[in-house]
Amino acid sequence: MYSPLIIPFHGNKNIRRINKLILTLSVNYYLKKYKFDNPILWAYVPNIIDFFSKFNEKYIVYHCVDEISQFPGVTENIIAMERELLRKADIVFVTSKNLYESKRVYNANTHYLPNVADVAHFSRASNDDIPIPAEMVSIQKPILGFIGAIDDYKVDSDILEYVAGFNWSIVLIGPLGLSDKAEKLKGLLSLKNIYHLGSKDYKVLPSYLKYFDVCLIPSRINNYTINVFPMKYYEYLAAGKPVIATRIPSLIDQKELAYIAKDKYEFKELIEKALKEDSDYKRNERINAAAENTWEKRIESMGELIESSLGRKG
């Protein structure tokens, strides 16, 4: 894998031009060095359109995992770039049903494939030999855990505040306020039973998950989250943990595996229910469901769709 070095401060037009030159030259160097012919251009961000035809690509994939138009601070220019990418891509993969409906308007060859997890990694949370992280030793159980970016436009602070009023410990792992000041979320951290442990290396996340009794997906319902399939969902399941989530569209049909709440009051009730009825049978059921949603299986499905599309393209 090659990760090219580029200059930060992407808002500057001159720096973007320099970065475009650096990326074009460096990627083409490695394409030539390793004798790649007619490569596939696989895109996650709209500004890839600046590189169309720069690598002699034979095929363009757009893997859309978020509704970028709903990111704070996104400009009309970025939205226009995504629409151009959608029109020019040979195939589009989306990770939620809402994204499927909105993106197929611009590209008929759009396919819904929800997010998956590194199941082998997160299933390590079931190992008996994983020690408890030192900073969690003194945290009283039961522990309700959340892993991910703690942003106010993603996380419903009202739910966390309400749940914090009961006799549970809440552990939050992840960066705080990536897109905004997240003032209310910061205020929650002063509560005695909420523990923000900061960001953790991906390698050690299973050791924290192991000591969660319940995992939370307290998504705020808005135009961003209704288009998201949380990657953490299958990560939690791979660890065998009960999952309590709000009613975002991508998880509504997961009621057989997860607890889906319509409001903060039901969220609290479902936490109580999950703690009471958890069992080895339910844990195995979750782990088995996660095993059907691995990156290996998802890439295999994508490969088959791409091969079929390439065949039609000739």
Asked if 148 and 245 sit in the same domain, the reply is yes
- Reported as a pLDDT band with limits 50, 70 and 90, residue 229 is very high
Task: Average the pLDDT over 293-298 and give the result.
Answer: 94
Asked if 149 and 271 sit in the same domain, the reply is yes
Instruction: Note the pLDDT tens digit of each residue in 5-22.
Output: 777 655 667 777 888 888
Q: Is residue 175 assigned to a domain?
A: yes
Asked if 185 and 70 sit in the same domain, the reply is no
Q: Which of 64-73, 144-153, 184-193, 253-262 bottoms out in mean pLDDT, i.e. has the lowest?
A: 184-193
pLDDT at 18: 84
- Reported as a pLDDT band with limits 50, 70 and 90, residue 183 is low
Task: Average the pLDDT over 20-29 and give the result.
Answer: 87
Asked if 144 and 274 sit in the same domain, the reply is yes
Cα–Cα distance measured from residue 46 to residue 291, given in angstroms and rounded to the nearest whole number: 31
* Number of folded domains that form the chain: 2
Q: Is residue 5 assigned to a domain?
A: no
Task: Average the pLDDT over 261-286 and give the result.
Answer: 97
pLDDT at 305: 96
pLDDT at 75: 86
Asked if 298 and 258 sit in the same domain, the reply is no
54/237: higher pLDDT: 237
Structure token digits, residue 29:
């160097």
Question: β-pairing, 91-94 with 59-64?
Answer: parallel
CA torsion, points 55, 61, 63, 67, in degrees to nearest 10? 90
Structure token digits, residue 204:
């050690």
Instruction: Note the pLDDT tens digit of each residue in 63-91.
Output: 999 998 888 778 898 899 999 999 999 99
Structural domain for 193, as ranges: 119-291
> Which residues lie below 8 Å from residue 83, measured CB to CB, with a gap of 6+?
106
CA torsion, points 135, 138, 143, 148, in degrees to nearest 10? -20
227/9: higher pLDDT: 227
Residue type for 286, please?
R
Asked if 211 and 143 sit in the same domain, the reply is yes
Task: Average the pLDDT over 218-238 and give the result.
Answer: 95
Q: What's phi and psi for 216, nearest 5 deg?
A: -110, 140
Instruction: Note the pLDDT tens digit of each residue in 125-138.
Output: 999 889 999 999 99
Asked if 225 and 144 sit in the same domain, the reply is yes
Asked if 307 and 248 sit in the same domain, the reply is no
Q: What's phi and psi for 246, nearest 5 deg?
A: -80, 170
DSSP result, 78-125: HHHHHHHHHHH-SEEEESSHHHHHHHTTT-SSEEE----B-HHHHGGG
Q: Is residue 13 assigned to a domain?
A: no
Structure token digits, residue 264:
């903060």
Q: How many CB atoms lie within 10 A of CB 87?
A: 11
Asked if 251 and 176 sit in the same domain, the reply is yes
